[in-house]
């Protein structure tokens, strides 16, 4: 019975010490916001698939909207372009923005580690000192002559602040949320980089195709100009007709420099995206060589807030703001500290570690804030207001995420219809130009009709190329808007830290 009573006594003592050390945690406990109760992204349901334009080749095929629970991580492989894959691989390896995001994550992780070490563990310090001093009797109120003495000290000091009310643990919670924020910022940088490389490469391919089409139009118009010049010599047409055709050729030539400028600037931007200087070579990506993914994944709206890295980053900031309320609340309560030292002190180094030279001290302290001019309460109200601000910003980020997906889905559906309409216009313009040219040669129509047919065909042909590029770019934008499947890659903190 005595043994049981003694064991119970030690158990109660151990539990009391544990409660004093761990204590409670004041302030709110954070819970992830509930996903929005939204059943679809757009006001009206999307069609099962987009329209098809057979005459537009690969860019004209139908795309089916498929409800899925997952997305491919390396979604750009769906375009089946080795050159595009190589650009993205180079960009992931060399991008300064991605490297900066890695570094920011390491900073946040080490800041957290430092706070854990300073808050949850006692601080041990070892010291060794020697002192030689002369003093006179006046120091002790005596008229005796001066004396010289030596003091040597070796000690170990320990200090620990008991986290009774959880202020330190709330601070650690806040810093851990900052690590989560930087990790999702890294994922967002990864996703943005890959999507930008795809869309920039597609834009470069579009400009290249427009330049090629413009050169072909110039050659056709120059051929027509040559025919008119021959007819002028024979008296078949007027000088005005030749000058009008020359003007058309010059106008078409004038469209080349802006296209070439845009093409060069786009390639320069692509070089920077992959971490290279603009003077280096880049692989050429032809627009017609790209494969348009025929299945467009659409995840459930309720899953979007867990998939979008920007939403998750905003949630991490909300978590940090919640923890900071606990930090400010804990500052209102008493602070408990324990300090101690153990060592040796002697006037002679040879006797420093003798049994008679031992010295030690143990001190416990409690500090209760009494009056700080209302600063501590103001800091707590500030933390609550910061949480309200973070909550509003989180809601705004969620709304923008849903808008981004809705805009992209509608763009994909209208892109297909736009391409069909423009392709039909191109076919009609080509047929009209062919018939008008025949009629003009046979004298069945005037030159103005031929001129109008040429201008219509030139305009619509460039529009077809732009419409094709829009389908590829908006397809890439959809994968980005839905989160890009990053959760299939082990984006753990340790991997990110080891990556550089």
The pLDDT score that the predictor gives to residue 138 is 61
Place of tokens 């490389």: 197
The pLDDT score that the predictor gives to residue 344 is 83
The pLDDT score that the predictor gives to residue 131 is 83
CB atoms within 10 A of CB 171: 21
Q: Which domains does the chain have, with CATH numbers?
A: 22-122+164-334+375-499 (1.20.1600.10)
> Distance between CA atoms of 380 and 391, rounded to whole angstroms?
17
The pLDDT score that the predictor gives to residue 16 is 40
> Distance between CA atoms of 151 and 132, rounded to whole angstroms?
6
- Tell me how far apart the terminal alpha carbons of the chain are, to the nearest angstrom: 62
Name residue 130's beta-bridge partners: 152
The pLDDT score that the predictor gives to residue 474 is 96
The pLDDT score that the predictor gives to residue 144 is 61
The pLDDT score that the predictor gives to residue 334 is 92
What is the rounded radius of gyration, in angstroms, for the C-alpha atoms of the chain? 38
Beta strands across the sheet bearing 358-367: 123-135, 147-162, 335-346, 358-367
> Distance between CA atoms of 146 and 167, rounded to whole angstroms?
53
Tens of pLDDT, residues 382-441: 999 999 999 999 999 999 999 999 999 999 999 999 999 999 998 998 888 888 888 877
The pLDDT score that the predictor gives to residue 478 is 96
Q: Closest Cα to residue 190, out of 500, 492, 480, 425?
A: 480
Q: Closest Cα to residue 405, out of 295, 488, 302?
A: 302
The pLDDT score that the predictor gives to residue 493 is 41
User: Which residues of the chain have a pLDDT value below 70?
Assistant: 1-23, 137-146, 490-500
The pLDDT score that the predictor gives to residue 146 is 63
3-class DSSP state for residue 159? strand
The one-character DSSP state at 348 is: S
Q: Are strands 64-67 and 295-298 parallel, antiparallel or unpaired?
A: parallel
The pLDDT score that the predictor gives to residue 13 is 39
């Amino acid at each position: 019975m005595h043994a049981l009573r003694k064991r119970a006594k030690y158990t109660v003592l151990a539990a009391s010490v544990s409660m004093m050390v761990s204590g409670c945690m004041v302030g709110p406990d954070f819970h992830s916001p509930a996903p929005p109760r939204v059943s679809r992204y757009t006001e009206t349901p999307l069609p099962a698939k987009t329209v098809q334009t057979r005459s537009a080749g690969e860019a004209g095929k139908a795309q089916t909207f498929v409800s899925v629970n997952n997305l491919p991580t390396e979604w750009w492989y769906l375009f089946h372009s080795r050159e595009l894959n190589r650009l993205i691989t180079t960009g992931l390896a060399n991008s300064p923005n991605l490297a900066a995001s890695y570094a920011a994550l390491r900073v946040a992780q080490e800041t957290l580690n430092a706070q854990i070490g300073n808050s949850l563990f006692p601080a041990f310090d070892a010291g060794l000192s020697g002192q030689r001093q002369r003093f006179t009797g006046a120091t002790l109120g005596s008229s005796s002559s001066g004396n010289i003495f030596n003091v040597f000290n070796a000690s170990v000091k320990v200090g620990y602040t008991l986290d009774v009310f959880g202020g330190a643990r709330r601070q650690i919670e806040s810093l851990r949320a900052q690590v989560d924020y930087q990790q999702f910022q890294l994922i967002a940088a990864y996703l943005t980089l890959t999507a930008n490389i795809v869309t920039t490469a597609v834009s470069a391919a579009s400009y290249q195709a427009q330049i090629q089409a413009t050169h072909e139009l110039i050659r056709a118009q120059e051929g027509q100009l040559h025919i008119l010049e021959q007819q002028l010599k024979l008296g078949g047409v007027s000088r005005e007709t030749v000058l009008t055709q020359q003007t058309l050729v010059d106008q078409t030539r004038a469209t080349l420099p802006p296209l070439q400028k845009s093409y060069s600037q786009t390639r320069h931007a692509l070089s920077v995206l992959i971490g290279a200087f603009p003077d280096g070579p880049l692989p050429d990506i032809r627009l017609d060589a790209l494969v348009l993914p025929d299945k467009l994944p659409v995840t459930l709206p309720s899953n979007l807030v867990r998939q979008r890295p920007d939403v998750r980053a905003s949630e991490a900031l909300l978590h940090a703001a919640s923890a900071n309320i606990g930090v400010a609340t804990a500052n209102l309560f008493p602070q408990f500290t324990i300090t101690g030292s153990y060592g040796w002190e002697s006037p002679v180094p040879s006797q420093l570690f003798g049994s008679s030279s031992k010295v030690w001290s143990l001190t416990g302290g409690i500090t209760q804030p009494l009056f700080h001019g209302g600063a501590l309460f103001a800091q707590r109200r500030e933390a609550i207001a910061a949480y309200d601000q973070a909550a509003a910003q989180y809601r705004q980020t969620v709304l923008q995420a849903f808008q981004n997906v809705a805009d992209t889905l509608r763009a994909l559906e209208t892109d297909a219809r736009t391409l069909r309409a423009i392709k039909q216009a191109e076919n009609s313009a080509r047929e009209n130009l062919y018939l008008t040219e025949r009629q003009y040669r046979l004298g069945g129509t005037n030159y103005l009709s031929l001129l109008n047919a040429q201008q219509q065909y030139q305009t619509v042909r460039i529009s077809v190329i732009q419409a094709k590029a829009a389908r590829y770019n908006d397809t890439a934008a959809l994968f980005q808007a839905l989160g890009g499947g990053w959760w299939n890659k082990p984006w753990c903190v340790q991997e990110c830290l080891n990556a550089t």
